[in-house]
Amino acid sequence: MKHYDYIGKLSEGKRRVKMGTPPVNLKCGYIDEAGNEIIPLIYSGVRDFSEGLAAVRTGNWADGKWGFINGAGELVIDYRFQQPRNCMGGMIKAVVDGEWVYVDRKGSKTISLKAYELASRYRDGYAYVTKTRWPVKVDYTWGIIDENGNEVVPCKVHWGFSRSYNNNFKDDVKRYHAYLQNVKLNPAKDKK
């Protein structure tokens, strides 16, 4: 096995590897579990695989663009992103032309996040969003958008910041609509 300056954690059967010194001489790619180089070190930056896709960068750190490859190393979404996040729930959060957006896993559908200050990753076809400016000393008011960017719950609900990643969106949407109909649901009873 080659000597690498960095070997990442196993993610979907692949590990990120890096050789060289950033920002000019850094080369990145992927190895398999046995240490075989399976995607050549031709990138200036790479991220872990998630849902069959990984972000890869060409160009330098300051103005390089990120695209997405599949497990075979084929470019499936062209280089046009900055600050990409891992694919989650079939959607990728990234910056395009200075604006945060969600992009679907094919790179064809884009949802603008211009109206929001913060947005979670997608899960179950939904994402939490807030219009509350960061940092604040009061509770955030969160809403929920669907995979088309429609607010299915307006940004008026006081859910703590911890809600933004690990809770069940479908239950939250259901509870909100029940609340609107003046039906009081007890979350503890819902878990039975």
The two tokens of residue 180 are: 């609107």
Range of the domain at 25: 1-113
The percentage of residues in the chain with a pLDDT greater than 70, rounded to a whole number, is: 77
In the chain, the number of structural domains is 2
What is the enclosing helix (H) or strand (E) of 169?
A: helix 169-180
Name the domain boundary from 113, 132, 155: 113
pLDDT surpasses 50 at 184: no
Same domain, 129 and 57: no
Residue-level pLDDT at 153 = 83
CB atoms within 10 A of CB 154: 13
DSSP state of 178: H
Residue-level pLDDT at 17 = 98
pLDDT surpasses 90 at 69: yes
Helix (H/G/I), strand (E/B), else coil: 74: coil
Same domain, 99 and 42: yes
Question: What are the residues whose beta carbons fall under 8 Å from the beta carbon of 98, sequence distance 6 or more?
Answer: none
pLDDT surpasses 80 at 172: no
Same domain, 101 and 46: yes
pLDDT surpasses 60 at 160: no
Name the domain boundary from 85, 113, 141: 113
Same domain, 81 and 134: no
The region of weakest confidence among 54-63, 76-85, 147-156, 171-180 is 171-180
Distance of CA 32 to the CA centre of its chain: 23
For residues 90 and 64, is the Cβ–Cβ distance under 8 A?
no
Same domain, 108 and 167: no
Closest to 135 in 3D by CA, of 158, 174, 161: 161
